[in-house]
Structure 1
Amino acid sequence: MKTGNVTGNVYKRSVHRKIETNGIGVKGAEYGEGCAFLTSENVDKAPEKAKQLWITAQSLSVWSGAEGAKLCVYEAVNRAAATAVGKGEAKVRMVSMQLMLPADCQEQELQKMTVAAQEAAQKLQVTLADVKVHVSGAVIAPVATAEALAEVWTAPAGAALSARAGQQIVMTKWAGLAGTVRLEKTYREALLKRYPAQLLDDVAQLEQHFSILPEAAVAGKSGVGLACAVSEGGVFHALWTLAEQAGTGLEVSLKKIPIRQETVEICNELDVNPYELSGNGSLLFVTDQGEMLAEQLQQQKIPAAVIGFLSADNDRVIVNGEERRFLEPANTDAIYRME
């Protein structure tokens, strides 16, 4: 395709006709507008004395093609939902996307990326309101970025929740969730030499767990003051971020961090640290009632476990049996260190 903004016909064929603005009060962008707008929902039903707050969250995927576009939508929406936890009644309303394509990219690839993003948005029940597409010689592979917008009706003054030392840390689902799916797709042929096809097929099905909206909704009604969506860099990165946001230290038991056997097998075979592997689809909470929250989540068929607690000092410690080691500042995702 030619350098610059994609032409009107290409945009209409491969973008505009592929997305549906199915959100209430949302108008998606037409070609050339580069914007979308939405109206507030249920203003008359807002909590008494509540104030309206808008939260934005961004994501950038360096995984090229349709897979990258899809994961980008999930990550942006998950981050927005996690940020809204503890701030009031919240709903992620829409997501917009920007695609930067190399000059040799074919229109069919653009269509695949748009369709993948739209399918992710539909599964999340969030409107994909706009997709901005630009062709540039500055990139050698398609790059996707996304921004999600959440509407929050905040609690009355003085009722805001916060994190503090002594609270328990709850984790949903499993370490390395999205990264495991990516490794299976990238190295499937090599992995088939070691593992049965059924195991790898089971990994591919884990994609259905990429959304954290269900657990965020439960947490928002359960007195959770802080949440952090696990994404690039894995659960270790998310734990560091959680402690930074709380302004505390933490202590986490490595053996209590949930991890699927499929992840263990694949990461061992490929020599990848699963705790530093993209964990999109998992969420961390801090709460006074960790066991109760974990039980509530499990009743909703959402895997959850208490893995540690916030500490009064600034030490971030991972405990593994008799070994205690300090958590290091955010490292690059393990998948990038394979080569």
Structure 2
Amino acid sequence: MKSGKLNWDDLKGLINNNKSVKRDEVRVRNGVGEDCSVIDFGEYECVISTDPITGAAENIGRLAVHVNCNDVASCGVEPLAILVTILAPEDTTYEEINEIMRQIDEETSKINVEIIGGHTEITTAVNRIVVSCTVLGKCISGRAVSTAGAQVGDDIIVTKNLALEGTNIIVNDKYERIKNVLTEEEIDEAREYINKISVIMEGKISGEFGVNCMHDITEGGVLGALWELADASNLGFKVYEDKMPISVVTRKVCKEFNIDPLRLISSGSMIITTKNGESLVNLLKENGINSTIIGKITEEKGILVKLSEGEVIVPQPERDELFSIY
């Protein structure tokens, strides 16, 4: 099997064929596109998400925090606690593990999330360090926003620029090649993208604004995230390539490696659907967050409108473009 997420049909089969128990307390349960589960505890509900970091060498601790906290934020919920599992090969030093935990402690301090547990192990089962985290959030019962809530006619908004995470990973891990493509100023810009990875602020603002659906853009890029959102909501979408917010630096990096920025891992950007996109875009801007309306939710089919080709049906997402250069 190829590196990356399982293909769409295999993943769907694994999830749907292994749901023997369904508890009444679980309000939102596992499904393709649903990054969080929601458990009802009466007056409050708990929002839970888990994810590993496998595609990066640099900043793995920082990414592990934000990738997982972003999932909870995509429900319009503030994350409050995190559990950390580190699996490391035998040649790993204590200093390397300590640096990962230092990064995790530093990033969780910025967003007021407590490290409450986890597991650390040296094992021959991995050939590079893997960090997997589980994050918990809490909100008033019924308030958490699900990926499955999109409605026909909703504006589709993305925040910040796309492929921030992917660009940062490539520039750090492939510096010897990328230094011939980017200026030092552009390399510094790409390295600063790590500081834009969190979507907690836009999640909180959008949750209070009242939106139908949110989904953070991770592995598979914006097109993969749109596919997941549409499948969860049993709807389609129509988006426009020329409206996608992509930085000059990201375009240069993707051109050098012949990869599609619309299919590149994009933590730091969130998809939001709402009937009143312009108002939300303005509200986010007032809070220092740039966002862009890229299209609308439709009755059926996922369509990307390209300037050169017109309407193109978006296929099921395959592995992230990041894996094609490793």
Shorter-chain TM band: 0.7 to 0.9
**Distance (whole Å) between structure 1 residues aligned to residue 325 and residue 55 of structure 2:** 15
Q: What residue is the counterpart of 1:225 in the other structure?
A: 212
Q: What residue is the counterpart of 2:201 in the other structure?
A: 214
Q: What residue is the counterpart of 1:125 in the other structure?
A: 112
Q: What residue is the counterpart of 1:302 in the other structure?
A: 289
Q: What residue is the counterpart of 1:46 in the other structure?
A: none
Q: What residue is the counterpart of 2:304 in the other structure?
A: 318
Alpha-carbon spacing, 1:260–1:65, altered in 2? closer, same or farther (3 Å):
closer
Asked whether the equivalents of residues 156 and 271 of structure 2 are also in contact (C-alpha less than 8 Å), the reply is yes
Q: TM-score, normalised by structure 2?
A: 0.82
Q: What residue is the counterpart of 1:42 in the other structure?
A: none
Asked whether the equivalents of residues 66 and 116 of structure 1 are also in contact (C-alpha less than 8 Å), the reply is no
**Distance (whole Å) between structure 2 residues aligned to residue 206 and residue 55 of structure 1:** 27
Q: Which consecutive unaligned segments of at least 5 residues does structure 2 have?
A: 1-41
Q: Which amino acid aligns with 2:304?
A: I
Q: Which amino acid aligns with 1:214?
A: M
Q: Which amino acid aligns with 1:224?
A: V
Say whether residues 1:81 and 2:62 are aligned partners: no
Asked whether the equivalents of residues 99 and 132 of structure 1 are also in contact (C-alpha less than 8 Å), the reply is yes
**Distance (whole Å) between structure 1 residues aligned to residue 246 and residue 56 of structure 2:** 26
Q: What residue is the counterpart of 1:20 in the other structure?
A: none
Trace 1:42-81 onto structure 2 (pairs within 5 A): 51-63=43-55, 65=57, 67-81=59-73
Aligned length, in residue pairs? 280
Asked whether the equivalents of residues 63 and 143 of structure 1 are also in contact (C-alpha less than 8 Å), the reply is no
**Distance (whole Å) between structure 2 residues aligned to residue 217 and residue 236 of structure 1:** 24
**Distance (whole Å) between structure 1 residues aligned to residue 173 and residue 249 of structure 2:** 15
Among all aligned residue pairs of Structure 1 and Structure 2, give the percentage whose two residues are the same amino acid: 22
Asked whether the equivalents of residues 65 and 112 of structure 1 are also in contact (C-alpha less than 8 Å), the reply is no
Q: Secondary structure at the match of 1:221?
A: helix
**Distance (whole Å) between structure 1 residues aligned to residue 225 and residue 99 of structure 2:** 30
Q: What residue is the counterpart of 1:181 in the other structure?
A: 168
Asked whether the equivalents of residues 45 and 142 of structure 2 are also in contact (C-alpha less than 8 Å), the reply is no
- 1:66 Cα deviation from its structure 2 partner: 5.6
- 1:246 Cα deviation from its structure 2 partner: 1.8
Say whether residues 1:243 and 2:235 are aligned partners: no
Asked whether the equivalents of residues 72 and 78 of structure 2 are also in contact (C-alpha less than 8 Å), the reply is no
Asked whether the equivalents of residues 51 and 155 of structure 1 are also in contact (C-alpha less than 8 Å), the reply is no
Instruction: Please identify, of 277-286 and 134-143, the stretch whose mean Cα deviation from structure 2 is larger.
Output: 134-143
Say whether residues 1:149 and 2:132 are aligned partners: no
* Deviations, residues 135-183 of structure 1 (Å, cap 9, x unaligned): 2111111111001001011348xxxx94211111111011111000111
Asked whether the equivalents of residues 56 and 169 of structure 2 are also in contact (C-alpha less than 8 Å), the reply is no
Say whether residues 1:266 and 2:253 are aligned partners: yes
Question: Which of 307, 323, 326 is 1:336 aligned to?
Answer: 323
Say whether residues 1:290 and 2:282 are aligned partners: no
- 1:305 Cα deviation from its structure 2 partner: 0.7
**Distance (whole Å) between structure 2 residues aligned to residue 118 and residue 246 of structure 1:** 36
* Deviations, residues 3-32 of structure 1 (Å, cap 9, x unaligned): xxxxxxxxxxxxxxxxxxxxxxxxxxxxxx
Asked whether the equivalents of residues 66 and 112 of structure 1 are also in contact (C-alpha less than 8 Å), the reply is no
**Distance (whole Å) between structure 1 residues aligned to residue 112 and residue 261 of structure 2:** 29
Instruction: Please identify, of 131-140 and 252-261, the stretch whose mean Cα deviation from structure 2 is larger.
Output: 131-140
RMSD: 1.7
Say whether residues 1:279 and 2:262 are aligned partners: no
**Distance (whole Å) between structure 2 residues aligned to residue 336 and residue 66 of structure 1:** 16
Q: What residue is the counterpart of 1:204 in the other structure?
A: 191
- 1:189 Cα deviation from its structure 2 partner: 2.4
Structure with greater Cα Rg? 1
Structure number with the bigger relative contact order (C-alpha 8 A, sep ≥ 6) is 2
Q: Secondary structure at the match of 2:209?
A: coil
* Deviations, residues 265-303 of structure 1 (Å, cap 9, x unaligned): 111112121111110010001100011111111111101
Asked whether the equivalents of residues 181 and 204 of structure 1 are also in contact (C-alpha less than 8 Å), the reply is yes
**Distance (whole Å) between structure 1 residues aligned to residue 64 and residue 92 of structure 2:** 19
* Deviations, residues 177-205 of structure 1 (Å, cap 9, x unaligned): 10001111112222222321111111111
**Distance (whole Å) between structure 1 residues aligned to residue 106 and residue 240 of structure 2:** 37
Q: Which amino acid aligns with 1:115?
A: R
- 1:68 Cα deviation from its structure 2 partner: 2.0
Q: Which amino acid aligns with 2:240?
A: S
Q: Which consecutive unaligned segments of at least 5 residues does structure 1 have?
A: 1-49
**Distance (whole Å) between structure 2 residues aligned to residue 289 and residue 51 of structure 1:** 29
- 1:65 Cα deviation from its structure 2 partner: 5.0
Asked whether the equivalents of residues 64 and 142 of structure 1 are also in contact (C-alpha less than 8 Å), the reply is no
Q: Secondary structure at the match of 2:171?
A: helix
Instruction: Please identify, of 120-129 and 251-260, the stretch whose mean Cα deviation from structure 2 is larger.
Output: 120-129
Q: Which amino acid aligns with 1:225?
A: N
Q: What residue is the counterpart of 1:10 in the other structure?
A: none
